[in-house]
């Protein structure tokens, strides 16, 4: 049998793609535009399922290394480490794909097109899916998103290692319960200044090969069929050449929720015609009828298919395996010792120390440590959502037990349930503390799990997934307050992927550690921090308000009042905040042209990392501007007494304002440049400031 032209790797890629599409009937073309694309046996085309997830490790496909949830990785402020994590994930994805093909498994979650990363702006802490993002700052999100995408897609000149998908494009951050009918109304200034910069970086810097549209409308247009977003901005302005995938079953929302079309045929035609190339779902099967009605042309579908098959060809799916660099990756790479070590490093760097009155780090030879709380023994609090599973996952209690001296007693009491109105139980604590050596410290492991926050329908009871309650869930707060009767220092370890009301804990606990959803090595990483084997340096990628009363309405997509860039009220913890076991001092801030340098000294007794952050404030502007915005950051390691000079090259566009039409412009004037371990109004940051006159 003669080899089809599309399988001839010596021919130009465009010719191979065109040759394949030209042989398809209309029905066959349409069949390839849904996520579960069937085989076309007469053309020798195998089936392919486009649906795969790897937010913080290969998900839903059996064994994998589980890294900290995305919000935790963002807390590291470490682009190089995030890139290494993504590279490890893509190694495992390729290895699992190779093994699945040998087993004849071409099903969901074993392909090479991954719907990751989620780079939506976490503009409101009530959104349950905020845990999937890199936080509330467009600049931080852009830098981490670019690093992650490059790690997934690789840097081969011909082949893509995986296809990364930046989602959810665009202006999407809740509420979950109304996403299928919600219209996000945004000004052109907010659109360009806050909601789009990180997507633009993904396209133009990282060369992301795929984007996923959001469920909602933006200014009246459904995202998956928006000519403004998909054609004018994405392709015409940014030069995007990859493909767009709809969010799952989002096309039916056009007629069922948004009311912009009459039926499924019109909805499918609107999406495909305006630049959505593949439907997660099956409504695009209606495109054959849409062609008959004259709502979309077959030539337009050929354009969509060209984008889709270009991706499959660039993944090497139709080339001899020997030509594809990653075809020999073996199963041994999956959850390998090196990847488990990397997961622990990522978890260590993601942990944020919120308070410490000196109780931390703990001695390993204390007489007795009382560990309490449901999250101490629960592996679910390690995972977050969109997760994989590792063969061994270390709970918080296991991590603590593994650290202490042989002569130290560790007791555990649940005390309360994760959620619900079940009564708390302090009786068991009295029993535990009445025998043996006195308790030296109480480690309370409380907070959230992904059973309580996440995507619509994914949480307990199938709820919206959003966070209507700001405090600790269930009766955890009552239990935490009851612990004070023991008159022992309380170290609170809190899990979760979004801000939590810790006002009482800040006033009454001796120390507070935010662990996020720390992944399979979370228990060991938290113990490393608690006992001083790792000096914490994580920084919050989100603002912790004092209460939801400080926030605008959840449905209000005007950026005023949202995030550190536009929130005037004083929060409990600021974006960029985090403590260390050592002290860093900043001096010698210098500005030469657009290059900023600063001296950073470890003035303490312990070695540690510092996250150096540069913020810009436009002192006087003719249009509304952010209070300040992050414009540079670097994570460095310093030994006691060591000093390093950190340099930030800035670009003129980082000083831009945006007019009412969303157009950037440079306005001459004075700008405040601050560099420190956090924002300049954070007393712990040690920030130094200077003025820069822009002409």
Give the pLDDT score at 268.
Answer: 98
Q: Does the pLDDT value for residue 433 go beyond 90?
A: no
Give the whole-number percent of the chain exceeding pLDDT 70.
100
pLDDT tier for residue 431 given thresholds of 50, 70 and 90: confident
DSSP 297-311: -HHHHHHHHHHHHHH
Residues classed as catalytic: 247, 453
Helix (H) / strand (E) containing 90: helix 79-102
Contact 91, 151 (CB under 8 A): no
What mean pLDDT comes out for the span 533-555? 97
Question: Is-contact 189 662, C-beta < 8 A?
Answer: yes
Q: Yes or no: say if 224 and 246 are a contact pair by the CB < 8 Å rule.
A: yes
Q: Is the pLDDT of residue 482 over 90?
A: yes
User: Can you tell me the mean pLDDT for 594-604?
Assistant: 98
pLDDT at 345 over 70: yes
pLDDT in tens, 171-180: 999 999 999 9
Rounded distance, CA 420 to CA 476, Å?
10
All domains of the chain in start order, with CATH = 5-333 (3.20.20.300), 342-533 (3.40.50.1700), 584-694 (2.60.40.10)
Q: Which two structure tokens, joined as six digits, stand for 571?
A: 């929060």
pLDDT-based confidence at 435, cuts 50/70/90?
confident
Question: Using 50, 70 and 90 to split pLDDT, how confident is the model at 376?
Answer: very high
Q: Mean pLDDT for the chain? A: 97
Output the pLDDT for position 472: 98
pLDDT of 434: 76
In angstroms, the CA 392 to CA 84 distance is: 21
Residue pLDDT, tens place only, 2-15: 788 899 999 999 99
Checking if the pLDDT of 114 tops 70, the result is: yes
Mean pLDDT over 388-403 rounds to 97
State the DSSP code for 626.
-
Q: Which of 540, 495, 599 is nearest to 354 (CA)?
A: 540
Cα–Cα distance measured from residue 6 to residue 17, given in angstroms and rounded to the nearest whole number: 6
E-strand ranges in 313-408 read 352-356, 368-372
Q: Rounded to the nearest 5 degrees, what angle is found at the Cα of 250, between the Cα atoms of 248 and 253?
A: 150
Q: Is the model's pLDDT at 529 over the cut of 90?
A: yes
Where do the DSSP E strands lie in 127-187? Answer: 165-169, 183-184
Q: What is the pLDDT of residue 1?
A: 57
Average pLDDT of 52-67?
A: 97
Q: What is the pLDDT of residue 129?
A: 97
Sheet containing 629-638, strands listed edge to edge, beginning at the edge strand earlier in sequence: 629-638, 608-618, 669-676, 688-694
Where are the extended beta strands (E) located within 424-537?
A: 441-447, 490-495, 511-516
Q: Give the per-residue pLDDT at 241.
A: 97
pLDDT score, position 454: 96
pLDDT the model gives residue 429: 81
- C-alpha 36/C-alpha 305 separation (Å) is 14
Does residue 219 or residue 433 have the better pLDDT? Answer: 219
pLDDT of residue 425: 87
């Amino acid at each position: 049998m003669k080899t089809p032209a599309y399988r001839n790797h010596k021919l130009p890629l465009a010719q191979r793609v065109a040759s394949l599409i030209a042989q398809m009937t209309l029905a066959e073309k349409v069949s390839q535009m849904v996520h579960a694309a069937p085989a076309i046996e007469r053309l020798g085309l195998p089936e392919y399922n486009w649906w795969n997830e790897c937010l913080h490790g290969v998900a839903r496909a059996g064994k994998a290394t589980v890294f900290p949830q995305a919000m935790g990785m963002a807390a590291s402020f470490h682009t190089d480490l995030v890139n290494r994590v993504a590279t490890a994930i893509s190694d495992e994805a390729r290895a699992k794909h190779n093994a699945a093909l040998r087993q004849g498994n071409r099903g969901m979650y074993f392909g090479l097109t991954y719907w990751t990363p989620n780079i939506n702006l976490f503009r409101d802490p009530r959104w349950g899916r905020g845990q999937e993002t890199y936080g509330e700052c467009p600049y931080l999100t852009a830098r981490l998103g670019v690093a992650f995408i490059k790690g997934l897609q690789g840097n081969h000149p011909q082949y893509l290692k995986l296809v990364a998908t930046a989602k959810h494009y665009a202006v999407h951050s809740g509420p979950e319960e109304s996403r299928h009918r919600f219209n996000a109304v945004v000004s052109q200034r907010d659109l360009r200044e806050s909601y789009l910069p990180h997507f633009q970086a993904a396209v133009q810097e990282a060369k992301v090969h795929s984007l996923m549209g959001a469920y909602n409308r933006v200014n009246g247009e459904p995202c998956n069929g928006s000519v403004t977003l998909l054609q004018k901005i994405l392709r015409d302005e940014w030069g995007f050449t990859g493909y767009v995938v709809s969010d799952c079953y989002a096309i039916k929302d056009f007629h069922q929720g948004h009311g912009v079309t009459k039926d499924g045929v019109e909805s499918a035609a609107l999406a495909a015609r305006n630049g959505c190339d593949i439907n997660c779902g099956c409504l695009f099967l209606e495109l054959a009828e849409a062609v008959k009605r004259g709502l979309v042309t077959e030539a337009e579908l050929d354009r969509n298919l060209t984008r889709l098959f270009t991706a499959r060809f660039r993944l090497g799916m139709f080339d001899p395996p020997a030509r594809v660099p990653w075809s020999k990756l073996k199963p041994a790479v999956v959850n390998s010792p090196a990847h488990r070590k990397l997961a622990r490093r990522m978890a260590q760097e993601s942990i944020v120390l919120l308070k410490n009155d000196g109780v931390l780090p703990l001695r390993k030879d204390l007489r007795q440590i009382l560990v309490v709380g449901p999250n101490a023994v629960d592996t679910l609090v390690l995972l977050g959502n969109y997760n994989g599973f590792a063969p061994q996952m270390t709970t918080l209690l296991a991590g603590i037990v593994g650290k202490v001296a042989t002569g130290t007693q560790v007791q555990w009491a649940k005390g309360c349930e994760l959620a619900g109105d079940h009564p708390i139980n302090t009786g068991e604590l009295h029993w535990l503390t009445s025998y043996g050596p006195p308790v030296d410290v109480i480690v309370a492991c409380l907070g959230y799990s992904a059973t309580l926050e996440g995507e619509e329908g994914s949480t307990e009871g199938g709820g919206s997934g959003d966070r209507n309650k700001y405090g600790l869930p269930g009766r955890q707060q009552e239990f935490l307050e009851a612990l004070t009767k023991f008159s022992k220092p309380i170290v609170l370890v809190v899990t979760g992927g979004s801000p939590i009301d810790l006002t009482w804990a800040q006033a009454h606990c001796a120390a507070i550690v935010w662990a996020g959803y720390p992944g399979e090595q979370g228990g060991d990483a938290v113990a490393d921090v608690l006992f001083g084997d790792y000096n914490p340096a994580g920084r919050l990628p989100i603002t912790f308000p004092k209460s939801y009363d400080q926030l605008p309405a959840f449905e209000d997509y005007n950026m005023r009042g949202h995030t550190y860039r536009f929130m005037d009220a004083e929060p409990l913890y600021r974006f960029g905040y985090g403590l260390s076991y050592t002290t860093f001092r900043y001096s010698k801030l210098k500005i030469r042209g657009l290059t900023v340098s600063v001296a950073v000294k470890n003035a303490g007794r312990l070695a540690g990392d510092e996250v150096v952050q540069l913020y810009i404030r436009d002192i006087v502007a003719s249009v509304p501007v952010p209070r300040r915005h992050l414009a540079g950051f670097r994570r460095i390691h310093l030994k006691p007494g060591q000093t390093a000079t950190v340099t930030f090259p800035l670009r003129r566009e980082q000083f831009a304002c945006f007019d009412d039409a969303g157009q950037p412009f440079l306005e001459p004037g004075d700008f405040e440049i601050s560099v420190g371990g956090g924002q300049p109004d954070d007393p712990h940051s040690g920030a130094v400031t200077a003025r820069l006159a822009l002409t």
